[in-house]
Structure 1
Amino acid sequence: HNEQTSFSSFVDSLRIKVPHQDELARNLSGGNQQKVVLAKWLQRNCEVIIFDEPTRGIDVGSKYEIYLLIQELAAQGKVIIMISSELPEVLGLADRVLVMHEGRITGEITDVRNATQEDIMRMAVA
């Protein structure tokens, strides 16, 4: 029961929209399904969280909520590793960027504030 209470608090804090408490995750929207998966990991109090294409296939409102959550987790001292092909997303959220191409690191950006999408693309094809 305590686990259910804890999970319910994540449902509230992540603003997961469910028609009723017993709704199956597979029946939720894509954005809410992403948030349910995240809530399960947050419940375990992980220090490192890996986001693999966290906003692929979800609506703009849910993307914004995911962005806020990632920023909030980073502010709490959590280590965030984000894999994304959405370059504006990468530049908007990251402190540091590693660029990979065909399984190997082809570049690193440590000052993301001054980086551009073109910088990332140049490193990807180098």
Structure 2
Amino acid sequence: MQGLPLLQKDRKSEGLLLDQPLDFNIAMANMKKFKNKSKLVNLKAIRNEAEKYIKELKVRPDDIDLHARKLSGGNQQKVVIAKWLCTKARIFIFDEPTRGIDVGAKVEVYRLMNQLVESGAIVMMISSDLPEILGMCDRVLVMSEGKITADLTIKEASQERIMKAATGG
């Protein structure tokens, strides 16, 4: 897989096809993977892959025929993550990964991000949630008006330093 998966902050309009079932949403970023020798899409392979990720990511309810619209925000986010995991990418950009999801789902998303890092993947996170940044990141780049205003190790980073760099102060 070539490319750089971006897990968009607005999963409902940019990350999912809400009126499509979970198996299609998971497979859609990598349909080439599911074509057989005749160049036809192997629906059984899509279902098997989707079932694997739904189980692994603990998507609830776990019905692959369910349309994405029927899921909670946290479970929708898990389906978006599954879509990009299915591509076997090794670099991921998470844009506001926990926006609009409950605390339990946040913990699951953080766990998944940490598992990616532990497996050797690179995870970049864009977030406006300072506690999230300080709790999840090894390095913090702060931007203001389209320019990097600070490059901090997590040991150097604090809410005060980040806010100062973000506001140009």
TM-score, normalization by structure 2? 0.71
How many residue pairs are counted as aligned between the two chains?
Answer: 125
**Secondary structure at the counterpart of residue 90 of structure 1:** helix
Q: Which runs of 5+ in 2 are unaligned?
A: 1-43
Which runs of no fewer than 5 residues in structure 1 stay unpaired?
A: none
Does 2:139 match 1:96?
A: yes
Misfit runs of 4+, over 3 Å: none
Counterpart selection for 2:126 from 83, 96, 115: 83
- Decide whether the 8 Å contact of 1:98 with 1:108 is kept in 2: yes
Whether the aligned pair in 2 keeps the contact of 1:91 and 1:113 (CA below 8 Å) is: no
Tell me how large the CA RMSD over aligned residues is.
1.2
Indicate whether 1:45 and 2:99 are aligned.
no
Shift in Å, 1:3: 2.5
Q: Who is 1:117 aligned against? A: 159
- Percent of aligned positions with the same letter in both sequences? 50
Contact 2:47 2:64 in 1 (8 A): no
2:149 and 2:89 map into 1 onto residues whose CA distance is: 29
Task: Choose between structure 1 and 2 for higher RCO, CA contacts under 8 A separated by at least 6 residues.
Answer: 2
Corresponding residue SS for 1:50? strand
Shift of 1:125: 1.6
Q: CA deviation at 1:104?
A: 1.1
* Partner of residue 59, structure 1: 102
1:35-86, Cα deviation, whole Å (9 max, x unpaired): 1011010001011111000000100000010011111101111110110000
In structure 2, what is the Cα distance between the partners aligned to 1:21 and 1:37? 14
Structure 1 residue 19: deviation in Å? 5.7
Q: Which has the larger radius of gyration?
A: 2
CA distance in 2, matches of 1:83, 1:94: 10
Amino acid at match of 1:88: P
